[in-house]
Structure 1
């Protein structure tokens, strides 16, 4: 699930269209070493989840971990076809856990019910560039709305496959991908999405997607994507994003997202809350935001129609660009309608740059689940974040995220209270 639901691709376009410039990026290449970058992101995460109406033996999950995310990205060799490599190294270290508190998704869990002391994963990709078109083969992160890797725990998911991204036409970005496996967030072996043991193949078989995003004006962008995940589903995704400045300190924004999903082949669905085997549904959301000075007010509505819930996960845990997919619930059950009210406060206006607050409330009704056709759920999130602006600890971010989720019908899960404390520090080596 995603914490911020403005389409990431639309935001990338609205932030600036320099990446879509017609000048050849390969012509500006300085060389394999000269354009290289290297960085390490450290993340310390405390995760606590306390169930309120949970029937299982374990009702509380609580762990703390330290993650290291290393990335080396070379430049491209000079010439008509540039060649380079990206190398990813990931390490997770357990700081605090226990047999009765394990299972947060931060670490792999052994047969004894305990979390591993540490785990690591990584990989590399070879990349080729002609003009403004890049072909990448190997391990790589993905952000397409129909195939997006998740980074909501200690270490991110890491897909393996082939991708191509082209920005030859001004304001137009095209991309396609073919992926055959994913290393899950809390695992260290390939094909681990939906698999508990190495060597099993119960998750992703073969996923292909194609799509793009176009900036019609500096204020309006649209995107369209199609994907097919073998024996799971076919998806069509569309997005319209509009932003408009009313004055120097006022603006409005509207974001619309829709998925059309149909089962493919065996029609597998990785979920325990879907009321059908075959999928044939539409999930859409519309949200609008008004910003004035330090304040942003957001309202959103979301609905799922047709057969089955909006399903995702085997195609990446981030593949849900819907407004009401928030910290705990996605509000994506069959037939569910949900509404959101959100408030953001940027304290830079009051002389404290780097400090921000957010709170939101989402309520869902009409969920068609196993025990009822009118399941209800609600979630309230509160977040505070501070990014240090200068000095030796510049860019260190400290975040507190608290979520309260309630559902007597267990639409998503049992009612719970969740707390995350996150400290991140990016270090640029090259």
Structure 2
């Protein structure tokens, strides 16, 4: 099992800290040790002219199915805070994954679901220190350094596999100024969902032969005021892009209906050595959610203004845009809309059971005016062949969470995606079924 020097040093430091402060009130008393077992199963079917591939010898052979079955294990230790003007805390998590479907032809390259070797053979198991950080707290300010995750409009972990990704870096969050939360962070590397080591950041849709430097962000979130919150963020993917975000969210009521509104605006420009070429695009979206009793109806619209993808770092969630399911609907100049209906069965005597269905469509995808490789810059995005490309998606999901008993909080979720593309749209034509079970155990 590989570990970078930063994490190994931090784990040793954390062990020393625990010994020194074990007698401090709160540090031990408020500590929590939990075990989470997550079983991820997925089966995909390629349709139309889409395929998966299996390496045989030196040749790739097309296949029309892929299976993924992985058992993930997360052992998490979260300490309390030491007493005094400056509080101290630590977090350590051990992650492990075991591949239950190990047929080379079955995993078909693994995708981002299974860790495979260069010849396509699945790795039987992998593990790593998923989280290892030191926390400091003074008044309303906290500083965290090491390996951990973060949740912002410009950088969030994509936690949809057997194990979640985490980042190596540092974060500062303060609520000392009235009415707002301010934060800043810097990350050097990311540990992916199917990775046993930290890697440099690469983009999701651009040329992955080029990686940027670190990932920096800073932003402010207002505290709720009459149901309204606002956010402003800046993000720099060093030597790739600068990104600005402005968001507004409101929750209220209209008679017996609950109504939620979210507006999200993103603006991206190339930065530094332009590892993905010249970039200039924007993304804007509007989402409305209406709730009444067990019913929830959501509608959303988003649009990309620019000749590249609205891109984001691999292993992260790209944005607060509402049209994101199997596909991100983020092609050059793409317009997209969605409708989603969710139903909570608690009203009918089955608390913990929810079902949902959605439909999304993207159109007017046009990359024919792409010129980001002008003046000798690197070619970043293969989009010139996209001329009036389009796609659509439908999906069904059902989830159940146990409400009581020794396995309280355990969950079972199944999801079915149906995606069809034309004109070279990047996500292709696939059907997919997923089944994810999660068992949490509080050890102390």
| 8 Å CA contact retained: 2:394, 2:419 | yes
Structure 1 segment 277-296 matched on structure 2, within 5 A = 277-296=277-296
Which blocks of at least 5 consecutive residues in structure 1 are unaligned? 1-28, 270-276
Report what 1:20 is aligned to. none
SS at match of 1:358: strand
- Superimposed CA distance per residue, residues 183-207 of structure 1 (whole angstroms, 9 cap, x where no aligned partner): 1111111116549xxxx99535211
Asked if residue 54 in structure 1 is aligned to residue 41 in structure 2, the reply is no
* Aligned length in residues: 388
1:117, 1:359 → 2: CA distance?
A: 35
| Other-structure match for 1:114 | 121
Partner residue in 1 for 2:8? none
CA 1:289–1:88 in 2, change beyond 3 Å: closer, same or farther?
Answer: same
Distance 1:49 1:370 in 2: 28
CA contact (8 A) 1:261 1:279 kept: yes
Shift of 1:426: 1.5
Highest CA radius of gyration, 1 or 2? Answer: 2
Question: How far apart are 1:97 and its partner, in Å?
Answer: 3.1
Which residue of the partner structure matches residue 363 of structure 1? 361
Post-superposition CA distance 1:12-60 (Å, at most 9, x none): xxxxxxxxxxxxxxxxx94221221221211001011211122551332
Please state how far the C-alpha of 1:373 moved relative to its aligned partner. Answer: 2.1
**CA distance, structure 1, for counterparts of residue 224 and residue 428 of structure 2:** 44
Give the Cα–Cα distance (whole angstroms) in 2 for the partners of residues 71 and 202 of structure 1.
Answer: 34
Structure 1 residue ranges (4+ consecutive) displaced by more than 6 angstroms after TM superposition: none
After superposition, where does 1:34-49 map in structure 2 within 5 Å? 34-49=29-44
Q: Show the counterpart of 1:325.
A: 324
Q: Is the 8 A contact 1:107 1:187 kept in 2?
A: no
The reply to whether residue 132 of structure 1 matches residue 140 of structure 2 is yes
> Which one is further off, 150-159 or 167-176?
167-176
Structure 2 CA distance for aligned equivalents of residues 265 and 305 of structure 1: 22
Which position in structure 2 is the counterpart of 1:165?
Answer: 173
Structure 1 contact 179–207 (Cα < 8 Å) conserved: yes
2:201 touches 2:213 (CA, 8 Å); kept in 1? Answer: no
Residue 344 (structure 2) aligns with: 346
Moved more, 407-416 or 330-339: 407-416
Residue 346 of structure 2 aligns to a residue whose secondary structure is: helix
- Which one of 67, 88, 92 corresponds to residue 72 of structure 2? 67
Matched residue, 1:274: none
Of the three residues 206, 210, 226, the one matched with 2:214 is 206
Q: Give the match for residue 240 of structure 1.
A: 248
2: CA distance, partners of 1:296 / 1:171: 30
Mapped partners of 1:216, 1:129: distance in 2: 23
- Confirm or deny: 8 A CA contact 1:181 1:204 kept in the other structure: no
The CA distance in 2 between the partners of 1:291 and 1:216, in whole Å, is 20
Aligned mates of 1:60, 1:279 — CA distance in 2: 36
Q: In 2, distance between residues paired with 1:202 and 1:71? A: 34
* Match status 1:143 vs 2:151: yes
Partner in structure 1 of residue 392 of structure 2: 378
CA RMSD of aligned residues (A): 1.9
Specify which of 168, 180, 184 is matched with residue 176 of structure 1: 184
Aligned to 2:90: 85
The match for 1:22 is none
Q: TM-score, normalised by structure 1?
A: 0.86
Q: Which runs of 5+ in 2 are unaligned?
A: 1-23, 54-61, 367-382
- Is 1:191 aligned with 2:199? yes
Could you say which residue in structure 2 is the equivalent of 1:26?
A: none
